[in-house]
Every structure is written in structure tokens, then in C-alpha cells.
Amino acid sequence: MKVEATRRGFYDFTLWREGDRFELLDPRDFAPTWMVEVDPTTRERRQSVQEAIDAPFVERHGVRPRDVRVSEPVEDRDEVLHDGDPYP
């Protein structure tokens, strides 16, 4: 039986995140609180750790963090880091 996680949950010593698709070892293991059954021909998918880290940023800004570029170089690093006071 192939399922998709609707929220985070543990199964077979693995943390599955929302959107992950995987095969159950036994149909009796189905947990309706965080799984939905999907078509058996659906490809399995497992979200990488980096995707899980990036997900809130992508949801809020619409881009991955590594795709964001600084538009202008920072001239004075101390001023930026310490809000104008080089000796905090």
C-alpha cells in the first residue's frame, strides 16, 4: 500500500515529512491521522533535509535562500554588524 504523509510522522524508524510518499510494509500500519492512500503507480518521494530547512523560507518569499543575491556590496562590516557602534 502506497501512502503520502499529510504532516510529519514516524514510520519504520524514519521521520516522514508532509508530501513524502512511501510504501507501507503492512497495510495495517496505515495511520489516518497523518497518511492518505495514493495510487500504487505514484512515484515515491522523500523530502531532503535541505528542502525541509528551506521550506518555510520558500513559502514566505517564493525563492530558495541560496537563490537570493545581495544587490549591493556592504562597505563597512562593523557598522552593519554592530548597528553603528564598532565596540558593542
CA 56 and chain centroid, separation: 7
What are the helix (H) ranges across 1-88?
Answer: 49-61, 77-82
User: Is residue 20 a contact partner of residue 4, using CB atoms and an 8 Å limit?
Assistant: yes
Q: Which one-letter DSSP state was computed for residue 21?
A: E
Which cell numbers hold the place of 44? 515515491
Q: What does the pLDDT look like over 25-68, one tens digit per residue?
A: 999 999 999 999 999 999 999 888 888 888 888 888 888 777 77
What single-letter amino acid sits at 71?
S
Instruction: Say what the pTM is.
Output: 0.61
